[in-house]
């Protein structure tokens, strides 16, 4: 079992061993690590919670023999999560002869640079886009920049720069690297990692089996699978996390398997990867995930991590309930499946046993007769927490009679729940506007929402009712009954 973390930075392998006096702990963020280095201060701390993008860096990973690049918020990444990866900062983009990277030059040519605080983050988001995409649309560029905030110049010259740079895109590696990072990454040994300091133990297993053994021995370990939520406990609340079980190094948890009747998505699949899968198989989920955080957050966050938080305003759970998904839980004794609707048992509590881990989500293929929609109400479209979210499912029979209805809501209770009274009222009835208007009143009896910073209880009630009406309107097409 390894006791240090190794990754590629500045064209060489860097090893961090967290020895006494190093000033680093296993939960030191990549942002704070970079800020201690003499030549990597381009990364900035703005919000320290993944909202501003000033700390955006790019991670390079080997996948099937090819390098894959993704932009992430350095403030949400713990140092051990870098093991076996390449870390690219804005300082790495300029060539040894001083030539700017094409995205940097395009920003200069299009007057897209800002005061300097936010610019490096924009550059890194565009660099990841440059590496991964060709023939970009303006919508794709704007999506890539949803996690970068600035008020200096406006976004149009930045978008223009991205379009210019990516049209003439050429294959390249970060110009300062003396050897391709892919060669260096192959020399970093894989395997289980155990990091210990006087006050902290950090496990990063390489297999599900090893993770289950650790969870059996350390049921109180804090499970991390993405860290977009847990990292805030360190950066904002300044919590000390004494025992951490990090699942980010388990390749088995990043697989997708397709069967005749269902698709099984492992818990370590990122939200970004899941979103791509859903575009062709589960469009209602893809629609919801298009407003899930930002690209940087979607690249880090995982399905298992999102579900494990049991958030009452989580974007994913309502639409998973509408899809009749099952959550796969596993321990050393075996595995079991829990319906998504029964997985969250209370505020931030789930049906998982102390020694169980979320290992996958099973999504049944959609019946041709089923209509599934997802909705999110928030104060802004991008990078915001839902005030009310929902996932709805409808199947009709005998022309226009309701055979099955699922109305799942987030933000209306201490957990994501189905509107059982409204569902019972609708069962077997005609799917028409008078029936829906009566069902809207039933939704009020299903929930007792609270008022908070995101919205009042009254607003939540109105939104919940109106989302049901919106679902009916969209299901019948232009408001005409089927």
Please enumerate in sequence order all residues whose Cβ is within 8 A of that of 414, keeping only pairs 6 or more positions apart, or say none: 312, 346, 347
pLDDT (tens digit per residue) in 343-373: 999 999 999 999 999 999 999 999 999 999 9
What pLDDT, on the 0 to 100 scale, is given for residue 84?
A: 97
Exposure of 45 in the CB half-sphere (CA atoms within 13 A): 14
Please enumerate in sequence order all residues whose Cβ is within 8 A of that of 71, keeping only pairs 6 or more positions apart, or say none: 56, 57, 58, 124, 125, 127, 128, 129, 144, 147, 295, 296, 299
Q: Regarding beta strands 357-364 and 326-331, do their DSSP bridges make them parallel or antiparallel, or are they unpaired?
A: antiparallel
Confidence of residue 174 (pLDDT cuts 50, 70, 90): low
Look at residue 96 and tell me whether its pLDDT is greater than 80. no
- Least confident range from 116-120, 130-134, 187-191, 403-407: namely 130-134
What pLDDT, on the 0 to 100 scale, is given for residue 480?
A: 43
Q: Regarding beta strands 222-224 and 370-377, do their DSSP bridges make them parallel or antiparallel, or are they unpaired?
A: unpaired
Pick from 105-109, 146-150, 407-411 the range whose average pLDDT is largest.
407-411
What pLDDT, on the 0 to 100 scale, is given for residue 478?
A: 47
- Least confident range from 4-8, 35-39, 54-58, 357-361: namely 35-39
Look at residue 172 and tell me whether its pLDDT is greater than 60. no
Contact 195, 217 (CB under 8 A): no
Portion of the chain with pLDDT greater than 90, in percent? 85
- Least confident range from 113-117, 168-172, 361-365, 457-461: namely 168-172
What pLDDT, on the 0 to 100 scale, is given for residue 115?
A: 82
What pLDDT, on the 0 to 100 scale, is given for residue 370?
A: 97
CATH architecture of the domain 94-167 equals: Orthogonal Bundle (1.10)
Confidence of residue 169 (pLDDT cuts 50, 70, 90): low
Confidence of residue 68 (pLDDT cuts 50, 70, 90): very high
Sign (positive/negative) of CA torsion 148, 101, 159, 181? negative
What pLDDT, on the 0 to 100 scale, is given for residue 178?
A: 45
Cβ neighbour number for residue 192 with a 10 Å cutoff: 16
Sign (positive/negative) of CA torsion 18, 182, 134, 106? positive
Confidence of residue 177 (pLDDT cuts 50, 70, 90): very low
What pLDDT, on the 0 to 100 scale, is given for residue 479?
A: 43
Contact 319, 288 (CB under 8 A): yes
Q: How far apart are CA 426 and CA 459, in angstroms?
A: 24
For the domain 255-476, what is the CATH superfamily, name and number? Answer: CO dehydrogenase flavoprotein, C-terminal domain (3.30.390.50)
CATH architecture of the domain 5-91+178-246 equals: Roll (3.10)
pTM of the model: 0.94
Average pLDDT of the residues of the chain? 93
* Structure token pair of residue 235: 């950066």
Q: How many residues does the chain have?
A: 482
Torsion of CA 32, 36, 41, 43, to 10 degrees: -10
Q: Locate the domains of the chain by residue range.
A: 5-91+178-246, 94-167, 255-476
Q: How far apart are CA 84 and CA 13, in angstroms?
A: 9
Contact 101, 93 (CB under 8 A): yes
- Least confident range from 143-152, 266-275, 433-442: namely 143-152
Cβ neighbour number for residue 41 with a 10 Å cutoff: 14
Q: Between 135 and 77, whose confidence is greater?
A: 77
Q: How far apart are CA 294 and CA 260, in angstroms?
A: 33
């Amino acid at each position: 079992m390894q006791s240090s973390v190794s990754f590629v930075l500045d064209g060489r392998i860097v090893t961090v061993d967290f020895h006494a006096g190093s000033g680093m702990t296993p939960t030191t963020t990549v942002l704070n690590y970079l800020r201690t280095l003499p030549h990597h201060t381009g990364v900035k701390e703005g919000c320290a919670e993944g909202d501003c993008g000033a700390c955006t860096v790019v991670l390079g990973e080997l996948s099937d023999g090819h390098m894959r690049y993704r932009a992430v918020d350095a403030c949400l990444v713990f140092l051990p999560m870098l093991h076996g990866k390449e870390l690219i900062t804005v300082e790495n983009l300029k060539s040894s002869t001083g030539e700017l990277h094409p995205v940097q030059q395009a920003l200069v040519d299009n007057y897209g640079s800002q005061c300097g605080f936010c610019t490096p983050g924009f550059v890194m988001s565009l660099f990841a886009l440059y590496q991964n995409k060709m023939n970009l649309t303006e919508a794709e560029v704007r999506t890539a920049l949803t996690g970068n905030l600035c008020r200096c110049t406006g976004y149009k010259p930045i978008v223009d720069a991205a379009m210019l740079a990516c049209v003439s895109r050429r294959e390249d590696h970060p110009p300062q690297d003396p050897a391709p990072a892919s060669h260096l990454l192959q020399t970093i040994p894989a395997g289980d990692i155990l990091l210990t300091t006087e006050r902290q133990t950090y496990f990063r297993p390489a297999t599900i089996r090893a993770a289950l053994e650790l969870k059996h021995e350390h049921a109180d370990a804090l499970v991390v699978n993405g860290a977009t939520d847990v990292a805030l406990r360190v950066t904002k609340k300044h919590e000390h996390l004494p025992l951490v079980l990090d699942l980010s190094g388990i390749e088995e948890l990043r697989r997708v398997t397709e069967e005749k009747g269902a698709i099984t998505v492992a818990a370590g699949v990122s939200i970004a990867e899941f979103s791509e899968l859903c575009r062709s198989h589960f469009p209602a989920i893809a629609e919801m995930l298009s407003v899930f955080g930002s690209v940087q957050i979607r690249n880090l966050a995982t399905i298992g991590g999102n579900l494990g938080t049991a958030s009452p305003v989580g974007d994913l759970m309502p639409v998973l309930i509408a899809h009749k998904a099952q959550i796969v839980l596993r321990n050393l004794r075996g595995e079991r499946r829990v319906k998504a609707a029964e997985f969250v048992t209370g505020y931030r509590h789930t049906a998982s046993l102390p020694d169980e881990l979320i290992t996958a989500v099973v999504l049944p293929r959609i019946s041709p007769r089923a209509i599934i929609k997802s909705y999110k109400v928030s104060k802004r479209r991008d990078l915001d927490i839902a005030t009310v979210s929902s996932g709805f499912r409808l199947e009709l029979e005998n022309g226009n009679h309701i055979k099955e209805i699922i109305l799942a809501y987030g933000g209306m209770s201490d957990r994501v729940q189905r509107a059982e009274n409204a569902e019972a009222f609708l069962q077997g009835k005609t799917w028409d506007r008078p029936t829906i208007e009566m069902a809207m009143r039933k939704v009020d009896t299903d929930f007792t929402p609270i008022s908070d910073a995101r919205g009042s209880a009254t607003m939540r009630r109105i939104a919940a009712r109106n989302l049901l009406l919106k679902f009916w309107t969209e299901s019948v097409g232009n408001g005409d009954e089927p």
